[in-house]
Structure 1
Amino acid sequence: MKAQHSALGGRYRIDFALPNDKIGIELDGYIWHSDRKAFTQDRARQRCLELGGWRIIRFSGAEVNADASACVRQAAELVAAHRRR
C-alpha cells in the first residue's frame, strides 16, 4: 500500500492506494471537506478517478478516530471482495 499515491498522471493524489488494483482509500476529515465547494470538488474528483478505473473507499475522520482498526478491517474486506470479481 502506498500513502499519498499519485493517480491519473499526477492529476490527483489518493491518501492510500493499491495501485496495481486501482483501489484508493480516502480519509475525509471534516475540516477539509465541510464547505460546499470542497464537497462538490470531492465528488467531481471521485467520478474522474472512477472513470479512470479506480475504486475509491472512503472513511470519515470521525470513523477513523472512533475505531481505526474497524476501518482497516472493513477496507481489507472491500479490497478482498473487489479482487474476487
Structure 2
Amino acid sequence: MQVRDPSGSGDRGQIGGRLLRDVEAKRRVLARHMLSPAIDDPELPWDNRNDCQYDGEDWPCPDLLDLALPYTDHPDHREQWWTHQMRTR
C-alpha cells in the first residue's frame, strides 16, 4: 500500500499502519452490529423488527449510521440512512 505522508516527515509506515488499524477497527464494529438473526427464534424478543444483534436498536443502528456518515456523497449511500442520521442529532 503506497501512502503519502501529508506532514512531509517521510514516516509513511506509521501513517499506513494507522490507516490499516482504522480499517480493522471499523470491520470489528461492523461484525458486532450485524442484523439480528430473529428467524425461527423461540424467544423472539424483536417483535418481528430488524434489530442489531449487538445493542438491540433498530438496524442499521446509530453506531452503523455514524460509521456511514463520512460516505454520504458515495453513490451507494442510502437516503434513509442520511435522514435517520439527521433525526438522531
The structure where helix makes up a greater share of residues is 1
TM-score tier (shorter): under 0.3
Q: Using structure 1 for the length normalisation, give the TM-score.
A: 0.28
Structure possessing the higher radius of gyration over alpha carbons: 2
Q: Using structure 2 for the length normalisation, give the TM-score.
A: 0.27
The structure where strand makes up a greater share of residues is 1
